[in-house]
A = this chain, B = another copy of it.
Amino acid sequence: MSPPIDHDELTGSGDPFTAMRDYLRRFAAERDWEQFHSPKNLAMALAVEASELLEHFQWLTEEQSHNLPPEKLSAVAEEIADVQLYLVRLADRLGVDIAKAVTAKTQKNETRYPPDKVRGSARKHSDY
């Protein structure tokens, strides 16, 4: 049984995407779960986790969502971890390099949303 991922591995001098990827490979291999990890299934699991995260916010006002009580914030943090881990696992199974994909997407968004054209407008806003 492999040790869980270490916080230093994620924030230390190495690459956390690689650390998470390698951890999840071992985790699946030790449980013989690769057979379930088709990209299709992992994309489903990711969407399900993202909705579990959403569920915590569904009856809150936007204002309330800024001030979660501690036990709710813990539950939300756990769902955030689930989304992160499935995202890394899905990317690995597809051969996608998340860091490269993020770099490319931020370049695209800089071009697509010039600050002086979209300032303060939700209508122009469709990415972060």
Contact A54 B46, beta carbon cutoff 8 Å: yes
Separation of A121 and B44 alpha carbons in the complex (Å)? 18
Give CA–CA (A98, B5) in the complex, Å. 13
Known: A80-B90, A105-B85. A44 touches B38 (CB 8 A): no
Minimum CB–CB distance from A76 to chain B (whole Å) comes to 6
Bits for A77-91, please: 1 = Cβ < 8 Å to B, else 0: 110111111110111
Please give the residue numbers on chain A whose beta carbons come within 8 Å of chain B beta carbons, in ascending order.
Answer: 1-7, 10-11, 13, 15-17, 20, 23-24, 27-28, 30-33, 35-41, 43-66, 68, 73, 76-78, 80-87, 89-91, 93-96, 98-110, 113-115, 118-120, 122, 125, 127-128
